[in-house]
């Protein structure tokens, strides 16, 4: 049964000595006698205080305060061994927070833990990791984190409230611009109440939803290290600060290899959230020029775990000696997580894409059915929604609460939003160029002022062509993008395909210097204030909003998300937003898998009951020494 661990009591706003009693009560079973004692010591200005080991914005927590371990881990998993994975391209930094400077290495934030941790078998739940309990009033005017007193950084120094406050100040002064603005506005007040207690006070004008969860996600870094080194959060550097997490950097070969080593003195080995997790002694990341080179290296045993994302590889290339000898396992595992909203993204900052008819016409030239059947072996599904799941996807005509929300912005929406089913991707025939879609696209281009000229190019009234550059860095995308480019050229668009190296790609995307690219957005099964950072007008130039999408309707509908009192209200608001954004068509929706394709040398094991929302191969899988020894004896690995 779901467990609601929240303890409701009357308490003085804990800025005084009374907070010490509140913290003591929070760590004990709160009985009637304790409440009576506490009430005698509280002042007249009383508010309802919620004390809990966890937090969920809309519902009950699955795990009670006394849980021993997560349901989906093996609490007896052995520690040891190495798992190695690959990464494409290169890196020149180990600072994951300097998003506008340098290319950070894979997993470079692995050493930093958050105040609270989410789980892979729930939606929107957070449990105390670096804290013992949290306290907050019913209106979430503030939140207090009662920190554990046994947490240490990897250099052996203790973590205290000073480190929490220092990290928060570091992020709001040197973090990404959008984060600085959003969090500074949300959290105008913060303080260390004592050595192991921190309080964050929220802007009363900010949406209630997303306040506590925002700070639950706060990471903690070492104040002493930054003060001693003079390092900045916004600089590219290979040196890393100590973290409280189970792994720390062991060795870095810039651009080629990173090895993370499990901290043998990790403070959280018996913490219920961490039991059965962080099982490998080392995690090694090997870099290769591209995915093709990486695959060849995997076949040769240069790394041991591969998460496949190429349909052609999956369908045709897993027939090599290590597979035939039974040394490598090829497995398809369930994936119930929300797929990223990916596709061909229009840069709406460019004037050429302001007319929706042009975007629709260009989208009609992408043949998803032919691409899947002929280039992807029929293994993928077509994405329609930004939230491709039954919980949050808009369907049919708007009705009920979703319709009520849409009515509040009816004056800025086209009538089709109310009279037509939620916008769906176009369908195409079994040939690369669908003639019916070509005719429709020509009609749309004509409506946008472009007509065919003698040279076959579409030109506007001033004789200008429509020039569109597709930017990409992965060679594996060539075969998927090239047919689309050819169809656009058949339409009369001056379309070109430019593949650049990873540093150039990063520089151009960070400066929004592109027409179209294959990319997208990460969305969640539970949305809050972060939705505005991805799609809101205020952050249209942020790296998290590649299309530069800006809609007055979205900005208004997003307020329903952040003010939602329950999950159904939030879901209705997201469905309304999904409907509007799909109509606005700022991305040509493409494919999603809905499964995990994995291949690994047969020396790893995983729990039988893998959770719905996680694969966990670097987290709660483990190493089998006997199987490894057998592979070595057989010559499978060196």
pLDDT in tens, 479-531: 999 999 999 999 999 999 999 998 899 889 989 999 999 999 999 999 988 89
Whether the predicted pLDDT of 16 surpasses 70: no
Look at residue 4 and tell me whether its pLDDT is greater than 80.
no
CATH of domain 54-335+596-638: 3.40.190.10
Q: Contact, 537 vs 182, CB < 8 A?
A: no
**Of 15-19, 173-177, 591-595, which has the strongest mean pLDDT?**
591-595
Measured CA to CA, the distance from residue 57 to residue 471 in angstroms comes to 39
Is the pLDDT at 10 greater than 50? The verdict is no
Mean predicted lDDT score pLDDT of the chain? 91
Which class does domain 341-586 fall in? alpha beta
Q: Rounded to an integer, what distance in angstroms lies between the CA atom of residue 199 and that of residue 221?
A: 17
What mean pLDDT do residues 54-64 have? 92
Q: Where in the chain is the domain with CATH 3.40.190.10?
A: 54-335+596-638
Cβ-based neighbour number of residue 429 at 10 Å = 13
Residue 444 to residue 132: CA distance in whole angstroms: 60
Using one digit for the tens of pLDDT, what is the confidence trace for 611-627? 999 999 999 999 999 99
Asked whether 136 and 128 are in contact (CB, 8 A), the reply is: no
Task: Look at residue 299 and tell me whether its pLDDT is greater than 80.
Answer: yes
* pLDDT greater than 60 at residue 371: yes
Kindly report, residue by residue over 71-121, the tens digit of the pLDDT. 999 999 999 999 999 999 899 999 999 877 888 999 999 999 999 999 999
Query: pLDDT-derived band of residue 468, with 50, 70 and 90 as boundaries?
Result: very high
Q: What is the CA radius of gyration of the chain?
A: 26
Percent of the chain at pLDDT above 90? 82
Distance CA 358, CA 446 (A): 9
DSSP per position, 360-371: HHHHHT--HHHH
Residue 47 confidence (pLDDT): 79
Nearest C-alpha neighbor of 549 from the set 395, 341, 354, 343 = 354
pLDDT recorded at residue 528: 85
In this prediction, residue 13 carries a pLDDT of 39
pLDDT grade, residue 638 (50/70/90)? confident
Each residue of 246-291: pLDDT tens digit? 999 999 999 999 999 999 999 999 999 999 999 999 999 999 998 8
Q: What is the mean pLDDT of residues 370-392?
A: 95
How do residues 197-241 score in pLDDT, each as one tens digit?
999 999 999 888 889 999 999 999 999 999 999 999 999 999 999
Report the phi/psi class of residue 270: left, alpha or beta, with left for phi > 0 and alpha for psi in -120 to 50: alpha
CATH 3.10.105.10 in the chain, residue ranges: 341-586
E-strand spans in 500-628?
A: 516-521, 587-589, 591-592, 595-601, 604-605, 622-623
> Could you give the 3-state DSSP secondary structure of residue 219?
strand
pLDDT, one tens digit per residue, over 140-175 is 999 999 999 999 999 999 999 999 999 999 999 998
């Amino acid at each position: 049964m779901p467990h609601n661990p929240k303890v409701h009591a009357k308490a003085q706003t804990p800025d005084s000595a009374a907070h010490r009693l509140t913290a003591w009560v929070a760590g004990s079973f709160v009985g009637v006698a304790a409440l009576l004692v506490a009430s005698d010591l509280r002042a007249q200005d009383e508010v309802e205080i919620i004390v809990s080991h966890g937090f969920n914005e809309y519902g009950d927590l699955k795990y009670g305060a006394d849980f021993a371990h997560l349901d989906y881990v093996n609490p007896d998993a052995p520690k040891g061994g190495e798992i190695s994975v690959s990464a494409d391209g290169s890196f020149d930094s180990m600072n994951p927070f300097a998003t506008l400077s340098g290319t950070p290495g894979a997993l470079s934030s692995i050493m930093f833990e958050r105040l609270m941790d989410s789980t892979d078998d729930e939606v929107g739940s957070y449990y105390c990791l670096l804290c013992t309990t949290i306290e907050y009033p019913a209106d979430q005017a503030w939140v207090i984190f009662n920190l554990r007193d046994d947490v240490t950084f990897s250099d052996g120094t203790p973590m205290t409230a000073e480190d929490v406050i220092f990290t928060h100040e570091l992020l709001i002064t040197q973090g990404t611009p959008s984060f600085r603005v959003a969090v500074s506005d949300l959290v105008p007040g913060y303080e260390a109440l004592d050595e192991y207690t921190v309080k964050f006070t929220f802007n009363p004008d900010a949406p209630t939803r997303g306040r506590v969860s925002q700070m639950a996600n706060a990471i903690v870094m070492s104040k002493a290290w930054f003060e001693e080194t003079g390092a900045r959060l916004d600089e590219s550097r290979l040196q890393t600060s100590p973290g409280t997490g189970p792994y720390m950097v062991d060795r870095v070969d810039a651009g080629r290899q990173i090895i993370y080593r499990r901290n043998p003195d990790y403070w959280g080995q018996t913490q219920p959230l961490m039991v059965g997790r962080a099982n490998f002694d080392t995690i090694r990341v090997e870099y290769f020029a591209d995915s093709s080179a990486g695959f060849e290296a995997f076949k040769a045993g240069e790394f041991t775990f591969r998460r496949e994302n190429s349909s052609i590889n999956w369908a045709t290339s897993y027939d090599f000696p290590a597979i035939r000898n039974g040394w490598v396992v090829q497995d398809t595992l369930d994936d119930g997580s929300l797929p990223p909203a990916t596709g061909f993204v229009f840069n709406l900052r460019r004037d050429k894409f302001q007319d929706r008819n042009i975007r629709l016409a260009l989208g009609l030239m992408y043949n998803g059915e032919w691409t899947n059947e002929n280039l992807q072996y029929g293994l993928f599904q077509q994405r329609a929604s930004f939230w491709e799941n039954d919980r949050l996807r808009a369907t049919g005509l708007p009705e009920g609460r979703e319709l009520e929300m849409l009515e509040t912005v009816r004056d800025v929406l086209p009538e089709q939003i109310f009279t037509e089913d939620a916008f769906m991707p176009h369908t195409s025939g079994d040939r690369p160029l669908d003639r019916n879609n070509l005719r429709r696209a020509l009609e749309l281009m004509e409506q946008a002022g472009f007509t065919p000229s003698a040279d076959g190019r579409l030109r506007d009234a001033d004789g200008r062509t429509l020039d569109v550059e597709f930017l990409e860095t992965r060679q594996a995308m060539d075969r998927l993008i090239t047919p689309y480019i050819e169809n656009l050229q058949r339409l009369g668009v001056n379309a070109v395909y430019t593949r650049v190296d990873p540093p150039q790609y990063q520089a151009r995307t960070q400066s929004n210097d592109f027409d179209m690219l294959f990319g997208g957005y990460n969305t969640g099964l539970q949305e809050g204030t972060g939705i505005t950072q991805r799609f809101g007008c205020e952050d249209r130039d942020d790296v998290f909003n590649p299309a530069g999408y800006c809609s007055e309707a979205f900005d208004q509908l997003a307020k329903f998300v952040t003010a939602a009192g329950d999950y159904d209200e939030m879901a209705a608001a997201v469905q309304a937003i999904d409907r509007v954004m799909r109509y606005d068509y700022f991305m040509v929706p493409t494919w999603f898998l809905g499964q995990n394709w994995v291949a690994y040398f047969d020396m790893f094991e995983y729990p039988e009951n893998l959770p719905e929302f996680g694969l966990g191969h670097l987290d709660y899988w483990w190493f089998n020494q006997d199987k490894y020894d057998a592979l070595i004896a057989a010559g499978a690995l060196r």
